[in-house]
Amino acid sequence: MKKRVISGLIMLPLLAVVYVGGDLLLLCLMAVSIIGLKEFYGAFNELSVKGNMYIGTGFTLLLYLSLAMNRIEDFLLPMLFAMIFISFATSIISYDKSHIWDPLVTITGVVYISFLSIHLGLLQMTEAPVLIWLSILTAFGTDIFAFFSGYFFGKHKLLPKVSPKKTVEGSLGGIVGSILLSAVFMAIFSPELIVHGLIIGAVGSFFAQAGDLTASFIKRKTGIKDFGTLIPGHGGVLDRFDSILFTAPFVYYYSIFILG
Q: What is the pLDDT of residues 18-48, one digit of tens each?
A: 888 889 999 999 999 999 999 999 999 999 9
Report how far residue 182's alpha carbon sits from residue 201's, in angstroms, rounded to the nearest whole number: 5
| 158 and 240 co-located in one domain | yes
Closest CA to 222 of 126, 125, 108, 68: 108
| 51 and 169 co-located in one domain | no
| 133 and 68 co-located in one domain | no
Per the structure, the complete domain to which residue 190 belongs is given by 1-10+128-260
| 86 and 169 co-located in one domain | no
| 118 and 181 co-located in one domain | no
Q: What pLDDT is attached to residue 18?
A: 84
Q: What pLDDT is attached to residue 220?
A: 95
Out of 123, 138, 160, a domain closes at: 123
| 167 and 259 co-located in one domain | yes
Out of 107, 123, 139, a domain closes at: 123
Q: Is residue 190 part of a domain?
A: yes
| 139 and 238 co-located in one domain | yes
Q: Is residue 157 part of a domain?
A: yes
Residue 10 phi/psi, 5-degree rounding, is: -65, -30
Q: Which residues contact 133 (CB under 8 A, 6 or more apart)?
A: 18, 185, 189
Q: Is residue 3 part of a domain?
A: yes
Can you list the residues of the chain whose pLDDT is less than 50? 3-4, 7
- The long-range contacts involving 31-38, CB below 8 angstroms and separated by at least 24 positions, are 32/117, 32/237, 32/241, 33/60, 33/64, 33/113, 33/114, 33/117, 34/60, 35/228, 35/230, 35/236, 35/237, 36/113, 36/117, 36/227, 36/236, 36/237, 36/238, 36/241, 37/109, 37/110, 37/113, 37/114
pLDDT digits (tens, 9 = 90+) for 108-118: 999 999 999 99
| 180 and 202 co-located in one domain | yes
Number of independent structural domains in the chain: 2
| 155 and 233 co-located in one domain | yes
Q: What pLDDT is attached to residue 17?
A: 84
| 97 and 117 co-located in one domain | yes
Q: What pLDDT is attached to residue 206?
A: 96
